[in-house]
Chains A and B, each alone.
Chain A
Amino acid sequence: GAGVSQSPSNKVTEKGKDVELRCDPISGHTALYWYRQSLGQGLEFLIYFQGNSAPDKSGLPSDRFSAERTGGSVSTLTIQRTQQEDSAVYLCASSLIGVSSNEKLFFGSGTQLSVL
């Protein structure tokens, strides 16, 4: 596609429910990244994929968070048993090769998650 696409753009859920956030990277980009943006917290790294594998999962806040990427394209970030502190904007980005090449990242518009 023309850019990184994220869906839904907004998600309101109740505490304890599971949510799935989707990211469709730019076609041909092998690297995909998830970040979380909270008020006053800046951008927090969650996970990144090189192809379908995730070399670095160190940013996932807890075992309620998981992510997968299939076919080297679309990625899904799943949050189980959501908590109010999970409320944030979840940003996805992609790049052609990966961070080791020092490329710039292309970001999607994000998913605003609100946990009531």
Chain B
Amino acid sequence: AQSVAQPEDQVNVAEGNPLTVKCTYSVSGNPYLFWYVQYPNRGLQFLLKYITGDNLVKGSYGFEAEFNKSQTSFHLKKPSALVSDSALYFCAVIYNQGGKLIFGQGTELSVKP
């Protein structure tokens, strides 16, 4: 089945420390992968995407994500977390190229001072 999984409901990080939000996918063919962020009381915003090319993708607000085909993962990372990064993060994959965008369950990131 085509799917995307975020194994952690919540990630807690101290400000200044590196952060990782995990995502794994299951989709036939070449996946198109996305990360979106939802700040409190605001709509979802696009962070970054992987279509093809370099496995390391850089996006907004200093975030990056690494596509790993052998592990079918697309983890979101940031070298130094900020309190303002606290939000709900969603990984997404395009199902069967040209079809719908499937989202994961979301991971709540909490960055404490």
Contacts and interface: CB of A to CB of B under 8 A. Distances in A.
Interface residues of A, number: 26
A42 B44 contact: no
B97 interface: yes
Interface stretch (B13-21, B66-74, B78-86, B98-106): B98-106
Interface string B43-70: 1111001010000000000000000000
A106 B34 CA distance: 13
B32 to A, nearest CB: 5
A93 B90 CA distance: 15
Contacts of B6: 42
Interface of B: 6, 32, 34, 36, 42-46, 49, 51, 90, 92, 94, 97-106
Given A42-B90, A45-B101, A100-B98, 13 more contacts: A3-B43, A4-B43, A33-B100, A42-B105, A43-B92, A43-B106, A56-B100, A91-B43, A99-B99, A105-B36, A106-B46, A107-B36, A109-B42
